[in-house]
């Protein structure tokens, strides 16, 4: 089995066995990766790759928007921020202006960091499960 195939199998297993919280964290990390790459693509004047990476980031934000439970008040506050990030990515793509992408990256990084903190606190709050003697 090739190294690339092994890595792909590992990635598939990581996604298939991840909790909902871990999947959300993966989405945030992926979005950050694609925005950073789009910024590099823009610097290198690789507009086709920039467009592809921005579209990938937009797709992730769209997925995050779809998973919001609108019955929960915080979701109603988060949705406009996701919409703003989508707007920034679109403007950065159309205008080839990295400042829009950087602002979207700052927002998604803040979301990721906050999500990571919440996951850590929830993990600490859960009782430790282990073998009982």
Q: What is the pLDDT of residues 13-34, one digit of tens each?
A: 555 567 888 999 999 999 999 9
pTM: 0.82
Query: Is the model more confident about 129 or about 72?
Result: 72
List CB contacts of 59: < 8 A, sequence separation 6 or more. Answer: none
- Mean of pLDDT over the chain: 89
**Is the confidence at residue 7, as pLDDT, over 90?**
no
Query: Is the model more confident about 122 or about 106?
Result: 106
CB 15 within 8 A of CB 26: yes
CB 111 within 8 A of CB 28: yes
């Amino acid at each position: 089995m090739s190294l690339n195939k092994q890595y792909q199998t590992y990635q598939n297993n990581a996604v298939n066995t991840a909790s909902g919280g871990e999947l959300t964290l993966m989405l945030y990390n992926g979005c950050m990766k694609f925005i950073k790459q789009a910024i590099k693509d823009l610097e290198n004047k690789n507009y086709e790759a920039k467009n592809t990476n921005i579209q990938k980031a937009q797709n992730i934000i769209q997925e995050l928007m779809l998973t919001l439970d609108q019955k929960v008040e915080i979701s109603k506050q988060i949705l406009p921020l996701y919409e703003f990030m989508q707007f920034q990515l679109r403007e950065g793509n159309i205008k080839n202006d990295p400042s829009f992408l950087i602002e979207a990256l700052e927002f998604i990084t803040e979301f990721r960091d906050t999500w990571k903190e919440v996951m850590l606190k929830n993990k600490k709050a859960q009782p430790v499960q282990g073998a009982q003697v």
